Amino acid sequence: EAQVTQNPRYLITVTGKKLTVTCSQNMNHEYMSWYRQDPGLGLRQIYYSMNVEVTDKGDVPEGYKVSRKEKRNFPLILESPSPNQTSLYFCASSSQPSREQYFGPGTRLTVT
Amino acid sequence: GQSLEQPSEVTAVEGAIVQINCTYQTSGFYGLSWYQQHDGGAPTFLSYNALDGLEETGRFSSFLSRSDSYGYLLLQELQMKDSASYFCAVRDQGSGAGSYQLTFGKGTKLSVIP
């Protein structure tokens, strides 16, 4: 089954404690991206990747890091989380950036 | 830069037709996409328009006018299950010719009432 998986689905952490949210896709897609979703603000792109070792900033990259060492995986790293990073995070992949994005189930992060 | 404008909320009656508009401002244009998101769920792809005109997929249609920087999603024969948020999205070259950034509108919450 074609899918994008994210882990964990829910995470509560404290300010400053480094965390990683994993994302994996099994569709051999080249394009992957991370979004955060906040009430009233829609989906905002954090980072995207066009291929292995190729990443670039989206609209709201501050406080986040990503890496793309393998085509299927695109982890999101928060090295020093802060409460304003409390949000719902989605990973997505597609064959082309303009085309159909396949979204993961989401990760709800709370930073206290 | 880029921006997309869509209504925040729309209410329609079951069985009716509803149109959700999206206007955009982008530096370079590569097509307009639409996504549906139910409460608690992930966005799912509905349609993509790269050229002017109407694309139909079952009860859903999407229209694009590049000259007007405008598109809409048309939902026919509304069903209760169509109650969801709908997002338009564009790829923009705002960050440069090599940019593959995607920008989403803030979403339109559709409520279908009996």
Instruction: Enumerate the β-bridge partners of residue A76.
Output: A21, A66
Helix, strand or coil, per DSSP, at residue B77: coil
Residue among A34, A32, A36 at smallest CA distance from A53: A32
Q: Which of B42, B48, B91 is nearest residue A100 as measured by Cβ atoms? A: B48
Average pLDDT over residues A55-66: 94
Q: Which residue of A has its CA nearest to B108?
A: A42
Q: Which segments within B50-83 are labelled E, that is strand?
A: 53-57, 60-65, 70-75
Helix and strand counts by DSSP (H, E) for chain A = 0, 11
Measure Cα distances from B39 to A6, A108, B85 in Å.
18, 14, 8
The answer to whether the CB of B30 falls within 8 A of the CB of A98 is yes
Measured between alpha carbons, how far is A42 from B1 in angstroms, rounded to an integer? 17
Which chain B residues contact residue A60 at CB under 8 A?
A: none
Residues 6+ apart with CB under 8 A from A11: A19, A21, A107, A108, A109, A110
pLDDT > 80? residue B5: yes
What tens digit of pLDDT does each residue of B65-85 get?
999 999 999 999 999 999 999
Give the CA angle between residues A110, B111, B53 to the nearest 5°.
105
On whether any CB of chain B is under 8 Å from the CB of A89, the answer is no
pLDDT recorded at residue B1: 53
Across the interface, whether the CB atoms of A48 and B103 are under 8 A apart is answered: no
Token reading at B12: 């329609």
Which chain B residues contact residue A103 at CB under 8 A?
A: 42-44
Measured between alpha carbons, how far is B17 from B72 in angstroms, rounded to an integer? 13
Which pLDDT band holds residue A98 (cuts at 50, 70, 90)?
confident
Measure Cα distances from B97 to B26, B71, B92, B101 in Å.
12, 24, 9, 11
pLDDT recorded at residue B99: 72
On whether any CB of chain B is under 8 Å from the CB of A103, the answer is yes
Q: Which of B30, B98, B104 is nearest residue A43 as measured by Cβ atoms? A: B104
What tens digit of pLDDT does each residue of B82-110 get?
999 999 999 876 555 567 888 999 999 99
What tens digit of pLDDT does each residue of A6-48 get?
999 999 999 999 999 999 999 999 999 999 999 989 999 999 9
Which chain B residues contact residue A56 at CB under 8 A?
A: 95, 98-101
At residue A72, φ and ψ (nearest 5 deg) are -80, -20
On whether any CB of chain B is under 8 Å from the CB of A34, the answer is no
Measured between alpha carbons, how far is B33 from B105 in angstroms, rounded to an integer? 10
Instruction: Enumerate the β-bridge partners of residue A11.
Output: A109
Across the interface, whether the CB atoms of A59 and B103 are under 8 A apart is answered: yes
Measured between alpha carbons, how far is B102 from A60 in angstroms, rounded to an integer? 12
At residue B46, φ and ψ (nearest 5 deg) are -110, -50
Candidates A4, A43, A60, partner chain B, best to mutate (most B CBs within 10 A) = A43
